[in-house]
Amino acid sequence: MSDAAELTIAEAIAKRVSPKELLEACRKRIEQWQPKINAFVSQEVLKEGGQGPLAGIPLAHKDMFYRPGKVTNCGSKIRRGWVAKELSAALEGLDRAGAAQIGTLNMSEFAYNPTGHNEHWGDCRNPWKPECITGGSSSGSGAAVAARCVFGALGSDTGGSVRLPAAANGVTGLKVTWGRVSRHGALPLSHSLDTIGPLARSAEDCALMLQAIAGHDVRDAVSARKEVPDYVASLNRRVRIGISRSWIEQNSHPEVAKALLEAARMFDLVEVETPNFEALSAHCLIVMQSEASAQHAQWMRTRSQDYGSGTRARLESGYAVPAATYLESLRLRAKWLEEFTSKTLGSCDAYFVPAVKVPIPTRDATGPQGGPGAPKLLGEVTYLTRWVNYLGVPAIVAPVGFDSNGLPIAMQLVGRPFAEDALLAAVHAYQRETDWHRRVPAG
């Protein structure tokens, strides 16, 4: 492979490619791709690489992770030019591992949109087809990794915001267990749902990044006091996968179903009971709307006109949720989690389902001018991600093919709490036998 930018993190480390060569390769890719995809907000070396397992690996991150003295805009007009005073715990972990940060990445306003539209900073565009969505809210993270502008990126996932960009752009994205990675120094949206995780080119690369950022942190009240396994050493473990074939066949677009069921043949499978996606997603939406609207209450009172129209509408809807309804959804969470782990995962390690059950749509069809059909289409896009956040469990997304429009199709594996190692191992095994994750969009 002649272009160093097309290596994975693991390959760059194994080949001992110099940090200078990696950085130069990424700079060339950014120069080529940024005018087409609008993935970057800033292009500067915010942190030079140091010593450690990720020494010199060029990364860039969603523009919501704080670094002292540096601007963090959070995809918004309200925080445009805001200078952070503290260091994000996740960035701190990557710094310790020796990674370099070479920019900040576009995102949906305040991380509250599943498509990548942004009225303030311009829409992020899909490198496979610029007229299509990148997925949100970690839109720039998905697009930049797919275009090989960086080797990996951090995103946040409250209802699918790591997994949707991973699916739409054909990269690997990991949504961690609630509490696995500290949220300290990162923009909050919904404290009962927010998680932070990596987007990268492979499961192995996600394991390397997760190793650097996972662990207990007293600065995050919900940070788990649970031992961090060796994710890289666990990549060769055997994993049994649960699947509901008939649900996929009956509820997914035919092209999606075909690609998913073909990919499933690579795993050790067992038929299992389908989770109640409808009810779980509804509970997640109640929690997300309530907590996000509370988070933004002060600005909504004083600066509502400075929000984009879509974000403002979502926040306004949260004020209509009765407190009793919100509290009931939180109360039922443990019951639903026990049901998922005992029934769906009773005889397996992870559950196999599409990441997005329809082909990746266009920006026009899902944006402000999308018309009366836009809400239904958005619901189709997010249908299989929100339920995971409600349960607080981990999930991983990876490409398994392309549709007739040339857009990626992705699988999603969902596991038990703190079973990220099993999910990474399953996808790593799949990626050793396939090359979908190595496909690169044409420049």
Task: Calculate mean pLDDT across residues 105-114.
Answer: 98
Q: How many domains, in total, are found in the chain? A: 1
What is the per-residue pLDDT across 269-322, written as a single tens digit (0 to 9) for each? 999 999 999 999 999 999 999 999 999 999 999 999 999 999 999 999 999 999
What is the per-residue pLDDT across 43-83, written as a single tens digit (0 to 9) for each? 999 999 999 999 999 999 999 999 999 999 999 999 999 99
Could you give the C-alpha distances from 340 to 101, 130, 270, 348, 400, in angstroms and in order? 38, 38, 15, 11, 25
Task: Calculate mean pLDDT across residues 242-249.
Answer: 98
Residue 443 lies in a domain: no
- The reported pTM is 0.98
Q: Report phi then psi at 352, rounded to 5.
A: -100, 125
What is the per-residue pLDDT across 171-208, written as a single tens digit (0 to 9) for each? 999 999 999 999 999 999 999 999 999 999 999 999 99
Which pair of structure tokens corresponds to residue 107? 């995102």
How far apart (Å, rounded) are the C-alpha atoms in residues 328 and 326?
A: 5
pLDDT value for 1: 45
pLDDT band at 2 (very low <50, low <70, confident <90, very high): low
CATH label of the domain that carries residue 363: 3.90.1300.10
Supply the residues annotated as catalytic. 62, 137, 161
Residue 374 lies in a domain: yes
pLDDT value for 368: 83
pLDDT value for 295: 98
Residue 188 lies in a domain: yes
What is the three-state SS of 352-403? EEECCCCCCCEHHHHCCCCCCCHHHHHHHHHCCCHHHHHHCCCEEEEEEEEC
Task: Look up the domain containing 48 and give its range.
Answer: 4-438
How far apart (Å, rounded) are the C-alpha atoms in residues 194 and 240?
A: 28
Answer for the pair 241, 268: CB distance below 8 angstroms, yes or no: yes
Looking up tokens 């120069």 gives: 31
